């Protein structure tokens, strides 16, 4: 069970009430993209690693990528921001600083994690070994693995880019609260990184 220690009398604020900004567009070069996230609460600029953490999702391939921001200390809850990884036509200088601090667990495997290539219908789920009756929380595309492809599908569903079918929604609701949201993504990311496995 994770908790934060704050000074007595200190106000605890939801990170979602803060102003969060991220570089909206970066350019593809085959490496994980980790654009800087800036979080401010009123006139106070929060410090990454002290007041919040950032996990990046689907941040290697061209397309929509996500930054998941979680509060620390006097800040609680989570929020997400999207950014676009665009094809590089050779006219852009790639800033290496955005990649140096990247989390190696954000790297995708050889599987294409873009949502357009991963969605399956309910009838396909039964042919992926497990059938409709067996719900494996977190394995959104029912391929037998929980990975960044599943996170990308959930993120696309949340953002209204590509809706999940009813069976996939059940698998995406990893905390079983009848809602698919950024909390489910954060739990899946923790599972993938080995921080907190899904039961």
Using pLDDT thresholds of 50, 70 and 90, give the confidence band for residue 93: low
Does the pLDDT of residue 179 top 80, yes or no? yes
Query: Whole-model pTM above 0.75?
Result: no
Is the residue at 166 inside a domain? yes
Q: Are residues 84 and 123 in the same domain?
A: no
φ, ψ for residue 106 (rounded to 5)? -80, -15
What's the total number of domains in the chain? 2
The per-residue DSSP string of 13-51 comes to EEGGGSEEEE-SEEE-SSS---PPEEEEETTEEP-BTTT
Domain-located, residue 7? no
Residue 111, pLDDT score: 34
User: For residue 136, what are the domain limits?
Assistant: 115-192
Bridge partners for 52 per DSSP: 48, 71
Backbone angles phi, psi at 158, to 5 degrees: -60, -40
Q: How far apart are CA 193 and CA 188, in angstroms?
A: 9
User: What pLDDT sits at residue 198?
Assistant: 83
Q: What is the dihedral of CA 181, 182, 188, 190, to 10 degrees?
A: -150
pLDDT tops 50 at residue 161: yes
- Mean pLDDT across 58-79: 90
Whether residue 199 lies inside any domain: the answer is no
User: Has residue 138 got a pLDDT over 70?
Assistant: yes
Token output for 185: 């993504």
CATH number of the CATH domain containing 49: 2.60.40
Number of alpha carbons in the 13 Å side-chain half-sphere of residue 57: 29
Same domain, 125 and 81: no
Q: Contact 183/191 with Cβ under 8 angstroms?
A: no
Distance between CA atoms of residues 16 and 60, nearest Å:
25
State what percent of residues in the chain have pLDDT above 70: 71
Task: For residues 119 and 188, state if they share a domain.
Answer: yes
Lowest-pLDDT choice from 12-26, 70-84, 107-121, 140-154? 107-121
Q: How confident is the model at residue 92, as a pLDDT?
A: 55
Give the residue-averaged pLDDT of 38-55: 95
């Amino acid at each position: 069970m994770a908790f934060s220690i704050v000074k007595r009398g200190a106000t605890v604020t939801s990170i979602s009430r803060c102003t969060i900004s991220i570089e909206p567009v970066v350019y593809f070069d085959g490496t994980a993209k980790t654009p800087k996230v800036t979080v401010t609460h009123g006139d106070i600029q929060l410090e990454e690693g002290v007041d919040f953490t950032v996990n990046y999702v689907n941040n290697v391939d061209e397309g929509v990528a996500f930054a998941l921001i979680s509060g620390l200390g006097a800040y609680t809850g989570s929020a997400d921001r999207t950014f676009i990884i665009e094809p590089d036509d050779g006219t852009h200088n790639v800033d290496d600083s955005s990649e140096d601090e990247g989390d190696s667990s954000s790297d995708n495997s050889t599987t294409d994690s873009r949502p357009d290539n991963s969605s399956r219908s309910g009838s396909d789920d039964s042919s992926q070994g497990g059938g409709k009756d067996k719900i494996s929380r977190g394995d959104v595309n029912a391929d037998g693995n929980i990975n960044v492809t599943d996170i990308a599908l959930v993120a696309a569903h949340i953002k209204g880019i590509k809706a999940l079918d009813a069976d996939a929604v059940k698998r995406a609701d990893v905390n079983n609260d009848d809602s698919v949201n950024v909390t489910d993504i954060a739990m899946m990311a923790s599972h993938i990184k080995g921080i907190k496995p899904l039961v």
